[in-house]
Amino acid sequence: MSLHTEIFEQPDRLRHLLQAQRQTALTIAAAIRSRHVKYVFLAARGTSDNAGRYANYLWGAHNRLPLALATPSLFTYYQQPPNLEDALVVAISQSGQSPDVVTVVSEAARQGSLTLALTNAPDSPLALAADLVFDIQAGPEKAVAATKTFTAELLGLAMLSAALAADDQAWRDLENVPAWIEQVLQQDQAIARSAERFRYMNHCVILGRGYNYATAFEWALKLKELTYVVAEPYSSADFQHGPIAMVAGGFPVMAVTPSGMVFDSMLEMLTRLRHQHAAELVVISDDPRALALAQSPIPLPAGIPEWLTPLIAIVPAQLFACHLTLLKGLDPEKPRTITKITETH
């Protein structure tokens, strides 16, 4: 099994997750409502931390739940955890093995907070420490760089959001996610050809905003892990406050720019980058105006609700990183110096 194979597994895995875990999502939502939770406190590392960035927007917008990202070192090295009264403490970890994330959940339980684990390992230390467990059921992931576990985490968070909101339309929208990803996967060879243009790239910027702030961070992480490119993720808003100064002719900028509330601001930024800075643009979008600005356009299917675009938009980014790794003569199955499970304290 290869990284490329696991990317292509995602539609089937997500289709199964929707069918198998809907009742689990409804049960967890009922437990959360019974506790009158006032905010969410979320602990994660790496790719799972990027899933948490998605939850920050999704649960805030759709469920009116403020979300704070934990600083696990306060619980481990400093041993001065914050007061978690009235919090739902959520931990996201593919392996469920990271000691610092487990420590956050254990401390939350000691304080009497409700705890929830999203994990691909329902028998892991994290799952055993939590009150509630959402098994993302992604199956074994052999590649070091996470792909299907990331989209399964995003889908789990989206299912929980729909369950908390008791939103039938949201569930109907979720049913379309696997088919949208299948449409994107049909562009595999076109994305491989686009990646050829960046064979010698050593640095780049990844832009996203709103729900796809998370996508920018995850795309950057995949490029760092697999191709060793210095890939810096930014909100397009933050990028204007100084970092844009590094962009000169031919500087690679990659952007996730689907239709939605933040599209106009992203389009304005892409227009400026192309015409004033002569940037080299890779754009993932469903809007022809954004795609027309890119030297390397990657189209998304039409009609995806903005809140679900991260689940689909990350897939061409995964393919891009995978193909660029091969073009650079690197092994996508064996990134240097990193392993599948990282146990931080």
Mean pLDDT estimate for the chain: 94
Residues 6+ positions from 19 with CB-CB distance below 8 Å: none
> Which CATH topology does 183-327 take?
Rossmann fold (3.40.50)
For 210, other C-beta atoms within 10 Å of its C-beta total 24
CATH of domain 3-175: 3.40.50.10490
Kindly report, as residue ranges, where domains of CATH 3.40.50.10490 are found in the chain.
Answer: 3-175, 183-327
For 247, other C-beta atoms within 10 Å of its C-beta total 19
Three-state secondary structure call for residue 196 = helix
Q: Which DSSP letter does residue 308 get?
A: G
Structural element, H or E, at residue 87: strand 87-93
Pairing, β 203-208 against β 132-135: unpaired
Q: How confident is the model at residue 338 (pLDDT cuts 50, 70, 90)?
A: low
Q: How confident is the model at residue 335 (pLDDT cuts 50, 70, 90)?
A: confident
Average pLDDT over residues 22-48: 95
> Which amino acid belongs to residue 1?
M
Residues 6+ positions from 144 with CB-CB distance below 8 Å: 225, 333, 334, 335, 338, 339, 340
Q: Is the pLDDT of residue 345 over 60?
A: no
Give, in degrees to the nearest 5, the angle at Cα 266 between 186 and 4. 25
Higher per-residue pLDDT: 341 or 152: 152
